[in-house]
Amino acid sequence: MKKMLVVSMIAGLALSNFAAEKIYRGNSKDAKDIICYYQGQRFYSDAARKNPIYHHPGNMVSKDAKATAKNSIYRLMGDRIYKGYSLAKPDCIATIFETKTKRGDALSAKIFDGFIIVREVVKSTDKKTKSEVVTSYKVTADGINEIQPKVLFTIDNNKIYRGDSTNDKDCVLTFTGSFPASRLLFMAIELTKTK
């Protein structure tokens, strides 16, 4: 029994070494449209995962081998992405709000421009998919007064769309696997710059 457990654990570790999530340009899953690969807190330019292009350990993103406060190009904190290592409100690029989650991963979300605060969130559980779904919410800039924020991106069904849309023509990224909100926020802000 113990031998079988050890063998299955080793097999699981070995398989995880080969699996990498793929991020594609637009509404595509063609190999020619792959922008990069993701595995183990790193984004790679190649399928062999020898050339890391971004390191994303915890709440920092860096192009260097080790992310530090000095070389951080983005900082992610509290569902927000900031320039550099800042946490100043004016340096907030965008805020992500998860509208559907399952086991800590965002299945659908809205990415709003700048620093916003979401209040009065009402959720329900979808028993069929075992996911948590937001049924209503209020968006504010100051925590009190409701506003109509600019939607930069919409995430749904392993795709990232520009604006408040889920039309195929607005799809800017397609990805495999599942990601937490912070990683999706980074992908939407940085990887959509890739031509």
Q: What tens digit of pLDDT does each residue of 13-70 get?
A: 444 455 899 999 999 999 999 999 999 999 999 999 999 999 998 899 999 988 999 9
* pLDDT score for 104: 85
Q: Is residue 175 part of a domain?
A: yes
Number of Cβ within 10 Å of residue 92's Cβ equals 20
Residue 11 has pLDDT above 70, yes or no: no
Residue range of the domain that includes 142? 20-193
Q: Is residue 2 part of a domain?
A: no
Q: Is residue 82 part of a domain?
A: yes
Residue 98's alpha-carbon distances to 40, 160, 177, 180, in angstroms, are: 23, 13, 17, 10
pTM here is 0.87
As for how many domains the chain has, the answer is 1
Instruction: Give how far the C-alpha of residue 86 lies from the chain's centroid of Cα atoms, to the nearest Å.
Output: 19
Q: For residue 131, what are its two tokens?
A: 């996911």
* HSE value, Cβ hemisphere, 13 Å, CA-based, for 144: 1
Q: Is residue 15 part of a domain?
A: no
Q: Is residue 72 part of a domain?
A: yes
Q: Beta strands of the chain (E only): which ranges?
A: 21-25, 34-39, 42-44, 52-55, 60-62, 72-77, 80-83, 92-102, 105-113, 117-126, 131-140, 151-156, 159-162, 171-175
Q: Is residue 6 part of a domain?
A: no
- Return the residue matching tokens 């079988």: 4
Q: Is residue 127 part of a domain?
A: yes
* pLDDT score for 58: 84
Q: Is residue 147 part of a domain?
A: yes
Q: Let me know: does 96 contact 108? Beta carbons within 8 Å.
A: no
In this structure, of 11-25, 57-71, 102-116, 117-131, the range with the lowest mean pLDDT score is 11-25
